[in-house]
Amino acid sequence: MDSHSITPREAQRRQQAGALLIDVRADHERALGMAEGALGVAREVLLRDPAAHIAAQTSEVLLLCQAGVRSAQCAHALAALGYRNVSSVQGGTQAWAAAGLPMCKPDIDADFGERYSRHLRLPEVGLAGQKTLEAARVLLVGAGGLGSPAAFYLAAAGVGHLRIADDDVVDRSNLQRQILHTNARIGAPKVASAAATLSALNPRTCIEAVAERVTAANVERLLEGVDVVLDGGDNFPVRYLLNDACVQLRKPLVYGAVHRFEGQLSVFDAGRQRGLAPCYRCLFPQPPPAEAAPNCAEAGVLGVLPGVIGILQATEVLKLLLGLGESLAGRILQFDALGMRFREFQISVDPACPVCAPDRAFLGYVDDAPVCAGGARG
C-alpha cells in the first residue's frame, strides 16, 4: 500500500490495534505535547536509519508532525525506501489535540509547558535549554534601576534561583525607574519588595533575598554556587569587589551602568579566560575621583534608561547560561538615548592588570572608600 493520509481518530483506532505511531517533529516541538503513546523520532533521524525504529518494511506506521505537512513528506520518503504501509495523520498534532484525543507532555508539568512554551518552540532553547535555566543560579547585585528589569526578565525566563543582594530600602524617588517596587512598599527593604514582586510573577523561581551590602568580608559568600553575576549597582567600590571576586572564582560578570541619558554594558569573563578576555580593571584600572562620579541622585537619570540597559544585561545572562550566540566579552556597548544610537568598542586585555594577568598573585579584596554614595541604587 502506498503512503496516504488518515484522520486523527482513524490513526488512534489503528494505533490501538497495533500500528506504530511516530511523532516526527523536533525534540523542542514534542516538549510542548505529543499524542499519547507516540514514539518521538525527529524526521531527519528516522529517514537516516528507518530500520532502527521500524521493525519491518511491512509494519504499519502512522506519522505525525505539527500540521501534517512534514509527516506527509516523510511518509512519501519512507515509501520510496520500500516501506509499504505508511500513513500521515491529517492536520498533525494540532488536529489530534483539537479532536480531544489524549495528549502527553514528556518530563514536564502543565505549568512548565504553558509558562515556557515560547522558549520550548525555539530549537536553540527547547526542553534541554529550559531545564538548564531552571537549574541555574544567578547573583544579582542591586534591586534598583538596573536590577529591576533584569530580575523581572530573568525570573520570567525561568532562571531557577535568583540571589538578590541590596541593603537599601524603597524610597519614593526610586519609583521613577525601579519597577520592582510600588508606592505601598516605601520604606521596605528592596530585597523583600523584589522577592514579593518576582514570586508573584513566577513562583517557580526561588528568590533568595540578601539584605546586605557587598563587602570584602562577604563577597565570596555571595558568589558561592552561582553561575553568573549581574552587576546592577551604582557603586564603584562594589563594582571592583565583584570584578576581583569573579576573576578569582572564575565567574562571568555582566556589567551595566547608566548616567543621565547614556548607558553601557559589557561581559567580563577573565576568570574563565585568563589572558584572553579582559576584566573590569583592564578597562578602568582605578576608581574615578568622587567629583567625576556623581550618582543618580546627584546627576539625574532618564527613567527608562536603566530599563534598556538592564534588559540587555539580562539578555547577556541568558546567553551565557544557555551557551548561545556571542557574548559582549572583550567589547563594551554604549547607548545614547537622546540620539537613539548604539556604539561598540573593543576592550583589550591589560597584560599588566593587577587582578587578571596570568602571572599575578591575588593580593586580596579591598573595601575602597565609597566613590558613588548611596549603595546599589541604579
In the numeric block, which cell numbers belong to residue 194? 523584589
Kindly give, in sequence order, each residue whose CB lies less than 8 Å from that of residue 107, ignoring residues fewer than 6 positions away. 31, 127
Let me know how long the chain is.
378
Give the model's confidence band at 372: pLDDT under 50 very low, under 70 low, under 90 confident, else very high.
very low
Q: Is 296 a catalytic residue?
A: yes
Residue 122 has pLDDT above 70, yes or no: yes
- The pLDDT of 257-263, averaged and rounded, is 96
Which pTM does this prediction carry? 0.83
Give the model's confidence band at 159: pLDDT under 50 very low, under 70 low, under 90 confident, else very high.
very high
User: pLDDT tens, 295-319?
Assistant: 666 678 999 999 999 999 999 999 9
Average confidence score pLDDT of the chain: 92
Residue 291 has pLDDT above 70, yes or no: no
Name the least confident of 29-33, 36-40, 161-165: 29-33
Cell 551604582 -> residue? 234
Give the model's confidence band at 375: pLDDT under 50 very low, under 70 low, under 90 confident, else very high.
very low
The dihedral through the CA atoms of 244, 249, 246, 140 has a sign that is negative
- The pLDDT of 75-86, averaged and rounded, is 94
List Cα–Cα distances, 134 to 128, 155, 195, 310, in angstroms: 10, 10, 17, 21
Residue 185 has pLDDT above 60, yes or no: yes
Give the model's confidence band at 116: pLDDT under 50 very low, under 70 low, under 90 confident, else very high.
very high
Residue 155 is inside which H or E element, if any? helix 147-157
Q: Does domain 126-346 have CATH number 3.40.50.720?
A: yes
Q: Of the listed 296, 353, 356, 372, which one is catalytic?
A: 296
Tell me if 163 sits within 8 A of 226, measured CB to CB: yes
Give the model's confidence band at 293: pLDDT under 50 very low, under 70 low, under 90 confident, else very high.
low
In the numeric block, which cell numbers belong to residue 369? 572608600
User: pLDDT tens, 41-62?
Assistant: 999 999 999 999 999 999 999 9
Residue 252 has pLDDT above 50, yes or no: yes
Name the least confident of 21-30, 193-202, 220-229, 261-270: 21-30
What per-residue confidence (pLDDT) applies to 335?
A: 98
Give the model's confidence band at 139: pLDDT under 50 very low, under 70 low, under 90 confident, else very high.
very high
Residue 40 is inside which H or E element, if any? strand 39-40
What per-residue confidence (pLDDT) applies to 295?
A: 63
What per-residue confidence (pLDDT) applies to 234?
A: 79
Reduced to 3 states (helix: H, G, I; strand: E, B; else coil), residue 323 is coil
- The pLDDT of 164-190, averaged and rounded, is 97
Spans of all domains in the chain: 4-106, 126-346
- The pLDDT of 115-141, averaged and rounded, is 94
Cα(64)–Cα(35) distance, rounded to whole angstroms?
8
Domain covering 4-106, topology: Oxidized Rhodanese; domain 1 (3.40.250)
Q: Residue 325: how many CB atoms within 10 A of its CB?
A: 11
Of 222, 203, 236, 220, nearest in space to 165 by CA: 222
- The pLDDT of 116-121, averaged and rounded, is 92
Residue 29 has pLDDT above 90, yes or no: no
Tell me if 155 sits within 8 A of 208, measured CB to CB: no
DSSP type of residue 288: P
